[in-house]
Amino acid sequence: MKSVAIVGASLAGLSAARALRAQGFGGRLTIVGAEPHRPYDRPPLSKEFLAGQMTTTDLALEGDGEDLGAEWRLGVAATGLERGRSLRIALADGSAVEADGVVIATGAVARTLGGDLAGVHTLRTIEDAAALRADLGAARRLVVIGAGFVGAEVACVARTLGLDVTIVEAAPAPFARALGPEMGTALAALHEDHGVRLICGAAVRGLTGEGRVDGVLLDDGRRLDADVVLVGIGARPVVEWLDGSGVLLGDGVVCDAGGATSVPGVVAVGDCAAWFDPALGAHLRVEHWTGAARRPATAAQTLLSGGAAVPDTLAPPYLWSDQYGMRVQFAGHTLPGDEVSVEEGDLASRRFLAVYRREGRMVAVLGVDQPRSFTRWRRRVNEPAGAR
Amino acid sequence: MIPACPLAALPRGEALRIETDPPIAVFHTEDGELYAVDDTCTHQDASLADGWLEGCEVECPLHASRFDLRTGRVDAPPAKLPVRTHQVVVQDETVYVVPSDLPPNLPPGVRTGSA
């Protein structure tokens, strides 16, 4: 393989470039990024960066003097992938990049509610975070739509800034998709302790205001006053540019357990990729930081070996969140019906460690302010039942 | 020299956090060696004493960068800077730490009380 193009210049793309070089790839390497920035770290955008404790410089993912010997094409999105004698990536400025191998790392974009009222935000990029921070500084009331981790972290920062905060969630419990309803409710208590109003089981009918948002209208007829609204209803993978390319798409790019797509010489990593997870027996698109940082090493092996390499065992998905000085950590994947038990601490103290089991096998672990125990429990996720 | 704990209070495979400014983590490896480094990961605010100790390395509990306890060197991102190391002395069955004179590599947003 003489040339590789990486499409996407965030954590997954950068990690792929590092892995390719570390595994001895000495050919031409091109990195395409839709955003104008060098790779930067997104998790602080809803935490320290939003709170003003970190600067843009602090977000840089590359080390001082790090040189991957790559050609960077930043600020230009990919618009198509064509297969001929080589692979050809068409770019939005009309140019193209040709390569023998392609790493798809185009990530995801925030889902929106549509409309163009001022004061309505999503949070995905540096620009999003800067705009939200500026708006929060002048606001009294924040409504967060969607009780996921990004929304919860923004709620937390807004509370420390003194804002009145309401979170609205359509599902019966917050954080339910990631943590299940039982532990989602337990974590919600942490927010209520800190004065956040949480409304669950309420769908949003629309936003009100002329020019600028002034409220959120719920399906049950209630109206919540708002100076700022954060829409935190998840993200969708950026894969439209692959329509017609032959790359099989489902919820993102469908990949095997080594990151290979349906097209030879093309692998996919990060938020846009749905790898087959053998422990789950299904494809799963994982939007967590750790997967974007670690899986590219496996995908690079797959690419450089032409698919002959046996993929490493997948580490279970892992996420962390900082809320009111508490560190929330979760590893694994939970499904409806899993049994959950608190193994250390207790829910009332808001410091606990909970284990999720399916047919006797531990499939996930949640730690709230229990980092040391979590470090140990995390290693046992997906061990066969009765191994210890 | 700062007293950390009685040697008997730190079994092999365990770690202890000393509430100095900035905090220091003392590790007792499975091989019986004692090491001390700054407790805070150089990437983000996480306690290395809470991390996974394997051989002479500790893995940060938050993002899995691994630090060599002998040199402070970090093996892989996200951490980019080494963690500061300190000398450990055992006297009369007590573990002491001799804090380094070098400046620490603390993550953004984390400052020492004196800074």
Residues 6+ apart with CB under 8 A from A242: A80, A81, A104, A249, A253
Residue B91 buriedness (CB in 10 A; 0-12 / 13-18 / 19+):
exposed
| Structural tokens at position A8 | 């996407």
In angstroms, the CA A373 to CA A257 distance is: 29
In 3D, which of A234, A236, A240, A315 has the Cα closest to residue A90? A240
Q: Could you say which residues of chain A have pLDDT below 70?
A: 385-388
- Which residues of chain B does A41 touch, with a Cβ-Cβ cutoff of 8 Å? 78
The domain ranges of chain B are 2-98
Name the domain boundary from A193, A209, A233. A233
- Looking at the structure, tell me whether residues A145 and A243 fall in a common domain: no
Q: Residue A308 CB: number of other CB atoms within 10 A?
A: 9
Per the CB < 8 A criterion, the answer to whether B44 and B31 are in contact is no
Q: What is the mean pLDDT of chain B?
A: 92
Residues 6+ apart with CB under 8 A from A127: none
- SS3 state of residue A376: helix
Mutate to test the interface with B, among A375, A377, A379, A380 (most CBs of B within 10 A): A375
pLDDT of residue A80: 98
Q: Output the CA angle B44-B46-B50, nearest 5 degrees.
A: 155
| Selected residues 2-31 of chain A with any CB under 8 Å from a CB in chain B | 15, 18
- Looking at the structure, tell me whether residues A103 and A241 fall in a common domain: yes
Residues 6+ apart with CB under 8 A from A151: A144, A145, A167, A230, A232
Residue B103 buriedness (CB in 10 A; 0-12 / 13-18 / 19+):
exposed
Q: Say whether the peptide bond before residue A311 is cis (omega within 30 degrees of 0).
A: no
In angstroms, the CA B66 to CA B72 distance is: 9
Cα nearest neighbour of B43 on chain A = A58
- Which residues of chain B does A320 touch, with a Cβ-Cβ cutoff of 8 Å? 62
- Which residues of chain B does A18 touch, with a Cβ-Cβ cutoff of 8 Å? 77
- Looking at the structure, tell me whether residues A364 and A277 fall in a common domain: no
A63 Cβ under 8 Å from any chain B Cβ: yes
**B115 falls in which pLDDT band (50, 70, 90)?**
very low
Structurally, how many domains does chain A consist of?
A: 3
- Looking at the structure, tell me whether residues A118 and A181 fall in a common domain: yes
Cα nearest neighbour of B62 on chain A = A320
Residue A320 falls within a domain, yes or no? no
In single-letter form, the type of residue at position A162 comes to G
- Which residues of chain A does B78 touch, with a Cβ-Cβ cutoff of 8 Å? 41, 61, 293
Say yes or no to pLDDT of B58 above 60: yes
- Which residues of chain A does B109 touch, with a Cβ-Cβ cutoff of 8 Å? 48, 53-54, 58
DSSP state of A246: S
Task: Identify the residue whose tokens are 């027996």.
Answer: A281
Say yes or no to pLDDT of B113 above 80: no
Q: Residue A48 CB: number of other CB atoms within 10 A?
A: 22
Cα nearest neighbour of B14 on chain A = A372
- Looking at the structure, tell me whether residues A202 and A295 fall in a common domain: no
Residue numbers of the domain that contains A189: 112-233
Say yes or no to pLDDT of B109 above 80: no
Residue A368 buriedness (CB in 10 A; 0-12 / 13-18 / 19+):
buried
- Asked whether the beta carbons of residue A375 and residue B51 sit closer than 8 angstroms, the reply is yes
Tell me which fold the domain B2-98 belongs to: Rieske Iron-sulfur Protein (2.102.10)
B13 Cβ under 8 Å from any chain A Cβ: no
Residue A141 falls within a domain, yes or no? yes
- Looking at the structure, tell me whether residues A247 and A182 fall in a common domain: no
- Asked whether the beta carbons of residue B108 and residue A54 sit closer than 8 angstroms, the reply is yes
Q: ipTM value, please give it.
A: 0.81
B77 Cβ under 8 Å from any chain A Cβ: yes
In single-letter form, the type of residue at position A273 comes to A
In angstroms, the CA A385 to CA A319 distance is: 24
Residue A332 pairs in a beta bridge with A364
Q: What is the mean pLDDT of residues B64-74?
A: 94
Distance separating the N- and C-terminal Cα atoms of chain B: 21
Residue A77 falls within a domain, yes or no? yes
pTM metric for this prediction:
0.91
B78 Cβ under 8 Å from any chain A Cβ: yes
- Asked whether the beta carbons of residue A371 and residue B78 sit closer than 8 angstroms, the reply is no
Task: Identify the residue whose tokens are 């060197």.
Answer: B73
Mutate to test the interface with B, among A353, A372, A377, A379 (most CBs of B within 10 A): A372
In 3D, which of A62, A9, A15 has the Cα closest to residue A295? A15
Which candidate from A15, A54, A63 shows the least CB-CB separation from B109? A54
Residue A204 falls within a domain, yes or no? yes
- Looking at the structure, tell me whether residues A197 and A264 fall in a common domain: no
- Asked whether the beta carbons of residue B61 and residue A372 sit closer than 8 angstroms, the reply is yes
Residue A315 falls within a domain, yes or no? no
Name the domain boundary from A189, A208, A233. A233
